[in-house]
Amino acid sequence: MAPTTLITGGAGFIGSHLATRLTGGGEAVRVVDDLSTGRQENLAHLPQDQVELIVADAAEYLARPNALQGIHRVYHLAAAVGVQLIVDQPAAMIRNNVEKTAAVLEACADAGLPVLIASSSEVYGKCPVLPLREDMDLVFGPTSASRWSYGMTKAIDEHLAIDLARQRGLRSVVIRLFNTIGPRQIGRYGMVVPRFVSAAAAGQPLTVYGDGSQTRAFCDVRDVVGAMTRLMDEPDAYGRVFNVGSDQQTTIDQLADRVIALTASRSDGRRTPTKRYVSYEAAYGEGFEDPPHRLPDLTRLRETIGFSPAYSLEQTLTELIDDLLLPNAIGSTGGLGEEE
């Protein structure tokens, strides 16, 4: 039997694109996902003889006898994701992100398998120095603000992966994902691009939090999964941490304007949505803090795998809007899923 790649969280947004890439290269993929935020439909477009979906908690699955038999590498993407979920259920999120990752890493160390884990730009917290470099100090707010707990869980995951690489020779790669966008991302958990695109396509106002002057850099998920597979295959990457994303910044206000302009142009001016501004407090509660800027330093990633994104923000936004406005557009990928 051909070697199989295991993806935890593979029925989610990024995991399903990774599965597309791996199966496109002829590989067999086993997805373990509890479908808490992922969806079975995210895998429906894949060649079904190359994909196996096991609906289970990642740690429970790995406790089964022979769970990793026939597996040659593991991508661990399963996590509780999204600002809203973090604010609403911090304790459940913390346990999911730390305990499950510890179980996955231990199982890979026992089986001698390489593993890539998805960390997040949230580990930088409110680090004020830009661009953000992998060896910088991490700056979190107080524990009374649950918002920082997600970044802290991902930082603990990183410590576990690095420690197991040192102590037991685990071939672990850690990626700190910055804002990743593309088809199948859903807005329900607070992600800005799917929120904006879904609202614009439905002719509703785009809700900008704060005054919109905050900046982010968005990277297409297809570029992100390309970087993931190359890092997994690069022995120089083992035991190390990498920023993965784009370094092209935009303000959230400019992003809203681009989505509005593209929607109007793709619908011959029949839809010209508007913007509305809502305070962070109104959206997420009193005392909510959001770092005003977040920009990765990509030097390490470029030096290790020669990373250079193929998709521009304009291209990705156009494709997402076409998917919703013109369901039969060439390259249609099935839309963005649910609205908030």
Ligand X SMILES: NC(=O)c1ccc[n+]([C@@H]2O[C@H](COP(=O)([O-])OP(=O)(O)OC[C@H]3O[C@@H](n4cnc5c(N)ncnc54)[C@H](O)[C@@H]3O)[C@@H](O)[C@H]2O)c1
User: Counting beta carbons within 10 angstroms of the beta carbon of residue 185, is it exposed (0 to 12), middle (13 to 18) or buried (19 or more)?
Assistant: buried
- Whats the size of the chain, residue-wise? 340
> Active site residue: 75, 150, 209, 238, which one?
150
Amino acid at 255: L
Binding residues for ligand X, rule: CB under 6 A, are 8-9, 11-15, 32-38, 57-58, 77-81, 96, 100, 118, 120, 177, 179-180
Min dist CB 321 to ligand X, Å, is: 19
Any catalytic annotation for residue 150? yes
Nearer to ligand X (CB atom), residue 161 or residue 325: 161
Nearer to ligand X (CB atom), residue 34 or residue 253: 34
Provide the Cα torsion 21, 77, 224, 288; round to 10°: 150
Could you tell me where the DSSP H helices lie in the chain?
13-24, 58-62, 83-88, 90-111, 149-168, 192-201, 221-232, 252-266, 280-284, 299-305, 313-325
Nearer to ligand X (CB atom), residue 200 or residue 221: 221
Min dist CB 287 to ligand X, Å, is: 23
Nearer to ligand X (CB atom), residue 34 or residue 223: 34
Min dist CB 258 to ligand X, Å, is: 18
Min dist CB 181 to ligand X, Å, is: 7
Min dist CB 97 to ligand X, Å, is: 7
Nearer to ligand X (CB atom), residue 71 or residue 325: 71
Pairing of strands 275-278, 206-209: parallel
Residues 103 and 100: their CA atoms lie apart, in Å, by 5
Instruction: Give, in order, the Cα–Cα distances in Å from 138 to each of 65, 127, 141, 155, 266.
Output: 39, 6, 10, 9, 42
Catalytic residues: 150
